[in-house]
Chain A
Amino acid sequence: MPDWLIIRTFWELTVTGLALGSIYALVALGYTLVYGVLRLINFAHSEIFMVGTFGALLASSQFLSIPLLEDGNYPYRTGMTLIIFLVFIMLIAMLFSGIGAVVLERVAYRPLRGNGDAFGAIVLAFLTAFIVSLVFVDQAKINVIIALLATAPISYAYMRFFKQGRKAPRLAFLISAIGASTAISEAVGVWSKHGRDQYQTPRLLEKKTLFTMFGTDVRIDYAIVIVGALLMMTALTLFVNKTRLGRGVRAVAQDAETSRILGVNVDLIIIVTFALGGVMAGGAAMLFTLVYDQTRFNIGFILGVKSFTAAVLGGIGNLKGALLGGLLLGLVENYGSAIFGGQWKDVIAFVVLLVVLMFRPTGLLGESLGKARV
């Protein structure tokens, strides 16, 4: 057993496990919400998280102009400034992920529901034209101009095609999800400033011990992650249970057809659902960069798979299940890697999933956004 594992105590593993688990849980909420409403596994949700980490990076390094290192030291901020900065960065990350999720729904899923609209057609047409023009022209500015010019006719053609009102088979949604996932992460990998390299995010916060519990030093960033995640989840639960739109989300999750006949605007509810999932992923993304100080074009992949696992573990479609599954997965991974060694971390997570699903096929708390005592 390597040395560093012996130094780590049980409580230390618990704290870091809970922090990691909180991030899983927040991302898992996105999978669970969309599954609850559309019975669709939104595989591209992991990239929504990735977009959020880049949103956080842009917010801190560009909008707030915080350098990676100031005079060779970390650009630590303190007090009120720190809080305002953190909140600002989180809001921007949420905005990126939220918009990302809504655009994804419009472009990748809504046309397949036989419900395509001009917005989705225009975005899709622009992207198509842009990508095609890249093959022929090597200058970004000219590409954009070509894409803009080609957008109108192509989007018109797409509209004609989308408006047929036919619902695509289930498999088409899955393929669209996987395609969108690859497309988003590759787009960032190819076109962002440093391409496929790792990006460092500025470290605003001195990662010192906040308090000591059971002989373990609890670092301030872990505390922020856990508390922040719990606050966001509470807010989401209140939104779903107490507001009119939340009621709509639950109604559509239980019976979309009846909701529609009762005058619920199902397409709007679907947008709201994607936006909620996106905002949660954006929050998770900001908390992630706070702890790990880095991001990369493919950062969403493994984390997305884990979060999806967490959602299934707790019972997909169930908001409390996402929380439970996320925290449990974070803890089990940490304890497991301490016992068996870090290289087994990912294996342990999936073994736990398999064992749980053998005994409880619908996850620990069962499926139930629709059947919602959320």
Chain B
Amino acid sequence: MSEVLLDFNNVTMQFGGVTALNEVSLQIKQGEILGLIGPNGAGKTTCFNVMTGVYAPTLGTVSFEGKNLAKLKRFEITKVGIARTFQNIRLFSEMTALENVMVGADARKKASVGGAILRTSRQRHEEKESRERSMELLQFMGISDRAETAARNLPYGYQRRLEIARALATEPKLLCLDEPAAGFNPAEKEELNELILKIREQGYTVLLIEHDMNVVMKVSDRVAVLDFGQKIADGLPADVRNNPAVIAAYLGVEDNAS
């Protein structure tokens, strides 16, 4: 049994009167690819936002390697090792692809005002290091040919991959991908699958939120299903696919009718 990286313990998230998550417990283990699926409005993105510190849970705790995330500031959550991409692409659109990744890489560096002004040798060295590391990540994602292009001028597929490269630059232990295949054609989805597997080979743990069952079922080691803010299934892809509750949720069969 491998080590638990992220522990979602009885998390309830309410917005006013709406309960977006209802006593969800979920664990992500070191080195696995966990797929999180569910119909629209099931609470996937909320789950994600709680995990990355955008919201503090109403009840319950989220801990990462034993640290309670609610006690950390948002930028510190990146430092403990959680990175994410966005469903709607949120790049720094006027910066170049390389600069976008470097902003991520900077999170690991100590910001020193004096160093920045005086251009100390350490500062220059670190700057070179970030640049090289960022370039490597662009190569890894297969988009290094457009490193100097402003993000807004990149093709859609490049933008999606750039988001992943930027998230990886923060040196996360857990990489959370929010619908990375949205808007991709089947060939591109295939490439993405390979990329996700490659990312895991590098030692990252991956949480994948995805609409597309093909992508999730192919790459995930384990799949959890949310419906109306509750976890209704959690297991191997093959088991989850045949789980009656999951089928009901996706096909819209009412519980009491079965």
Contacts and interface: CB of A to CB of B under 8 A. Distances in A.
Contacts of A251: 92, 95, 103
Interface in A220-246: 239, 243-246
A275 B117 CA distance: 12
Contact of A250 (B75, B92, B126, B167): B92
Contacts of A371: 93-94
Interface in B47-72: 52-54
Given A264-B103, A373-B94, A245 B79 contact: no
Nearest to A245: B116
Contact of B104 (A239, A245, A250, A262): A262
A200 interface: no
Interface stretch (A15-23, A104-112, A252-260, A339-347): A252-260
A60 interface: no
Contact of A255 (B52, B83, B90, B104): B90
Interface stretch (A265-273, A284-292, A353-361): A265-273
Contacts of B95: 247, 250-251, 254, 372
A263 interface: yes
A244 B108 CA distance: 11
A258 B103 CA distance: 11
23 contacts: A243-B116, A247-B103, A248-B106, A250-B92, A251-B92, A254-B92, A254-B94, A254-B95, A255-B92, A258-B86, A260-B75, A261-B52, A261-B54, A261-B75, A262-B78, A262-B104, A262-B166, A262-B170, A263-B79, A265-B111, A272-B113, A370-B94, A373-B94
B93 A261 contact: no
Given A255-B90, A370-B94, A266 B102 contact: no
Nearest to A235: B117
Interface of B: 52-54, 74-75, 77-79, 83-84, 86, 90, 92-95, 99, 102-104, 106-109, 111, 113, 116-117, 123, 126-127, 130, 166-167, 170
Contacts of B167: 262
A204 B83 CA distance: 56
A368 interface: yes
Contacts of B107: 262-264
Contacts of B166: 262
Contacts of B79: 263
A262 B107 CA distance: 7
B113 A245 contact: yes
Lowest 9 CB-CB distances: which A-B pairs, in order? A263-B107, A263-B78, A243-B116, A371-B94, A258-B90, A254-B92, A251-B103, A260-B74, A245-B116
Nearest to B172: A263
A263 B73 CA distance: 10
A246 B92 CA distance: 14
Considering residues A245, A246, A275, A368, which has the most beta carbons from chain B within 10 angstroms of its beta carbon? Answer: A245
Nearest to B84: A261
Given A250-B94, A263-B75, A264-B107, 16 more contacts: A244-B116, A245-B116, A247-B95, A250-B95, A251-B92, A251-B95, A251-B103, A254-B95, A261-B75, A262-B78, A262-B103, A262-B170, A263-B106, A263-B107, A372-B94, A372-B95
